């Protein structure tokens, strides 16, 4: 399963590395949006869960992964800019679905609030509009370590907090990646986190009110940083919202263990292809609540 690789020009300002996993029998395309500090490699399991039922698109933000060599990194990217990049990629690949992970939810919400004409459904995973106490502690320490460009402490922080339920092998990969980023990547993450800590968090709920397509929010039962309960605040703002809690799982969902991978896949397929993956056949590890805001 080899992707078609391209580096795309986005409005003459950014160059974005993309991977397109084509499936000849698929009639829909889904585009995946990375979390912070992540690259296309972090979606390896998710691609397996979705392909070949869907064509799957991955991409690296201009400052990260295989995109960074093609960009000049002269200014920090806001979530609004990341949302615009996503909109451009949706059009280029004619994508009908979006799936975001963690911080990627901020860009996804921004893009979806613009009501892109092609999008039919969206999945927002491991994201919430709330900064609770565990998340605040994580972000404040992150700002400190990123500000001093201390990659080793950033790597330890990720593994000991949001990544604490990952298998040891994945923790080693995480640490190796996070502790050896480029200077501008630490600067970009410092910018993101500072904005989250001190910016207007109501912007996520305002964006949610403009979304007209069905959205599934997926969170892990053990994820105290972007909790399922906090994510359910979106129920009052997204017109067609549904929620899945993946049992015995933390922030990284399908990466954490086999049962979490299975249950995450069932939640995704039950939402994206309900005719083929009936909700009643789902494993008991998935608890779901459907909500339509008034």
pLDDT tens digits, 100-140: 999 999 999 999 999 999 999 999 999 999 999 999 999 99
Contacts 24+ apart (CB under 8 A), 8-15: 8/88, 8/89, 8/92, 10/62, 10/85, 10/88, 10/89, 11/88, 14/62, 14/67, 14/71, 14/85, 15/62, 15/67, 15/70, 15/71
Residue 292 has pLDDT above 60, yes or no: no
83: burial class by Cβ within 10 Å (0-12, 13-18, 19+)? buried
Residue 290 has pLDDT above 60, yes or no: no
Residue 273 has pLDDT above 60, yes or no: yes
pLDDT score at 109: 97
pTM of the model: 0.92
Domain boundaries, the chain: 4-131+200-272
- 215, 241 contact by CB (below 8 A): yes
CA–CA gap between residue 22 and residue 2 (Å, rounded): 9
Q: What is the pLDDT of residues 209-267, one digit of tens each?
A: 999 999 999 999 999 999 999 999 999 999 999 999 999 999 999 999 999 999 999 99
Q: Is 290 left (phi over 0), alpha (psi -120 to 50) or beta?
A: beta
Mean pLDDT of 143-165: 96
CATH of domain 4-131+200-272: 3.40.50.1820
Mean pLDDT of 86-96: 98
- 59, 82 contact by CB (below 8 A): no
Q: What number of residues does the chain have? A: 294
Other Cβ atoms within 10 Å of 107 Cβ, number:
25
Tokens standing for 68? 């960074």
CA–CA gap between residue 241 and residue 49 (Å, rounded): 22
């Amino acid at each position: 399963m080899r992707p078609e690789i391209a580096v795309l020009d986005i409005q003459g300002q950014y160059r974005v590395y993309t991977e397109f996993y084509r499936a000849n029998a698929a009639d829909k395309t889904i585009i995946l949006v990375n979390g912070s500090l992540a690259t296309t490699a972090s979606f390896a399991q998710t691609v397996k869960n979705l392909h070949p039922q869907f064509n799957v698109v991955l991409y690296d933000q201009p400052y990260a992964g295989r995109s960074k060599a093609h960009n000049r990194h002269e200014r920090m990217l806001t979530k609004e800019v990341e949302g615009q990049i996503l909109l451009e990629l949706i059009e280029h690949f004619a994508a009908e679905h979006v799936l975001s992970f963690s911080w990627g939810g901020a860009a996804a919400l921004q893009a979806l609030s613009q009501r892109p004409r092609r999008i039919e459904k969206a999945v927002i995973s491991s994201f919430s509009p709330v900064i609770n106490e565990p998340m605040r502690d994580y972000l404040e320490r992150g700002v400190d370590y990123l500000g001093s460009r201390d990659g080793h402490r950033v790597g330890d922080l990720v593994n000991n907090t949001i990544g604490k339920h990952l298998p040891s092998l994945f923790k080693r990969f995480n640490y190796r990646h996070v502790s050896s980023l480029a200077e501008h990547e630490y600067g970009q993450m410092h910018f993101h986190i500072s904005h989250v800590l001190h910016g207007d968090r109501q912007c996520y709920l305002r964006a949610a009110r403009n979304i007209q397509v069905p959205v599934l929010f997926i969170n892990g039962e053990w994820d105290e940083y972007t909790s399922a309960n906090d994510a359910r605040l979106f129920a009052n703002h997204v017109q067609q919202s549904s929620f899945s809690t993946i049992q015995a799982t933390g922030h990284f969902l399908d990466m954490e263990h086999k049962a979490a991978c299975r249950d995450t896949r069932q939640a995704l397929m039950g939402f994206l292809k309900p005719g083929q993956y009936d909700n009643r056949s789902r494993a008991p590890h998935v608890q779901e609540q459907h909500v339509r805001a008034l």
